[in-house]
Structure 1
Amino acid sequence: MQITNMSEFHKHIKRVIISEEELKTAIARTGEILSMEYKDKPLLLVSILKGAFIFMADLSRAITIPHEIGFMAAKSYFESTESSGEVEITLDLAQDISKYHVVIVEDIIDTGRTLKKVMEYLAGKKPLSLKVVTMLDKPDRRLVDLQSDYSLFTIPDYFVIGYGLDYGEYYRNLPCIAEFEEE
């Protein structure tokens, strides 16, 4: 899919599910919680690229204690609206996480397969603790036993775009979460 004009871009936005203001409020609240929980502890936020990069940036700014960030990339969608079931870690962390309390920052938990594989992989590196914060949770789609420690929003089984979430690498720049409408 290649989008060349704005009318083409907007025709795939069915409706806004979560507004920009709702996102800002929830992120600020989560930043306060994490700041209290990890006060005086070595904290490492790990973003799963690409979808979580905007959420990670805003969450990092909302956390008022010293912390580090790291990036990983894992994929299972391969330019589709359905998870393939195959999970591939395509970028690993540079940090030795055994000295940190690690919080994985995820954009959305859908089937849970990708995140479960990432969690198992990171747990093997023996962090001081390992938790997950997700912007969006779709429990109706879960195929593995997995629960996030912090979830900003629970949503129904919609394919969503915006705020880092994409379809074919487009729509990440929307300031809200919207339902995607296929042609």
Structure 2
Amino acid sequence: MEKPKLRLVIPKDEISLKIKELSEKIDKDFDEEPIVFIATLKGAFMFASDLLKHIKNPNVEVDFVRVKSYGLSDKSSGKVELIKDIEIPVEGKNVIIVEDIVDTGLTLKFLYERLKALKPKTLKVCALIDKKERREVDIPVDYIGFEVEKGFLVGYGLDFAEKYRHLSEVYEMVKDE
């Protein structure tokens, strides 16, 4: 298999600066009110880890959920599957979903509606990347790191067929013309 070409889209220093900004906004919005951060696996693990390192609020809980809609393709299947559910009760709590990327919006909408049904006090979304090119459903994103117009992105948790997650920057996979 030929190695795909990668074009740098978001360098690590920009990611670091943006994460600090996002954490400051979240700290300001919630002061020291308790927050449950729910990170989506596998894609948001790096982003969530770095974001939480900068949160100053001492009243933080962390949980993980795993949903999938891509499989080994670069296109969403349109079918969202819950692989791992949350374990922390969220009723009456401030909840922030931490997402790597909002693309079609289908996965996030599924997760958002599922968590909303559990009656949290507030439900917010923090996404590293908001990419509207293939958006199919409207979903609110309260904290946005970067808006990227188009392209299939990998790195910093984002993958293609489980590869490239380990990269410390975000790249676009470029097809040969």
Match of residue 78 from structure 2 = 85
User: Aligned to 1:97, what secondary structure does the other structure show?
Assistant: coil
| CA distances 1:95-127 after superposition (whole Å, capped 9, x unpaired) | 110142000000000000000000000000001
- Structure 1: 5+ residue stretches without partners: 2-7
Report how far residue 147 of structure 1 moved: 2.6
Match of residue 146 from structure 1 = 139
Report how far residue 156 of structure 1 moved: 1.6
1:175 aligned onto 2:168 = yes
Give me the whole-angstrom Cα distance separating, in 1, the residues matched to 2:52 and 2:92. 19
Match of residue 4 from structure 1 = none
1:16 aligned onto 2:16 = no
> 1:58 aligned to 50, 68, 75, which one?
50
Give me the whole-angstrom Cα distance separating, in 2, the residues matched to 1:154 and 1:146. 15
- Superposed, 1:51-130 pairs within 5 Å as 51-66=43-58, 67-130=60-123
**TM-score scaled by structure 1?**
0.92
| CA distances 1:13-54 after superposition (whole Å, capped 9, x unpaired) | 421000000000000010111111111211011001000000
**TM-score scaled by structure 2?**
0.95
Give me the whole-angstrom Cα distance separating, in 1, the residues matched to 2:55 and 2:39. 15
Q: Is the CA contact 1:42–1:99 (under 8 Å) kept in the aligned structure 2?
A: no
Give me the whole-angstrom Cα distance separating, in 2, the residues matched to 1:62 and 1:181. 33
- Structure 2: 5+ residue stretches without partners: none
Residues paired across the two proteins, number: 175
Match of residue 44 from structure 1 = 36
Amino acid at match of 1:122: L
Report how far residue 137 of structure 1 moved: 0.6
Tell me the percent identity: 40
Give me the whole-angstrom Cα distance separating, in 2, the residues matched to 1:151 and 1:101. 18
Q: Is the CA contact 1:13–1:178 (under 8 Å) kept in the aligned structure 2?
A: no
How much is the aligned-residue C-alpha RMSD, in angstroms? Answer: 1.3
1:165 aligned onto 2:135 = no
Q: Is the CA contact 1:31–1:62 (under 8 Å) kept in the aligned structure 2?
A: yes
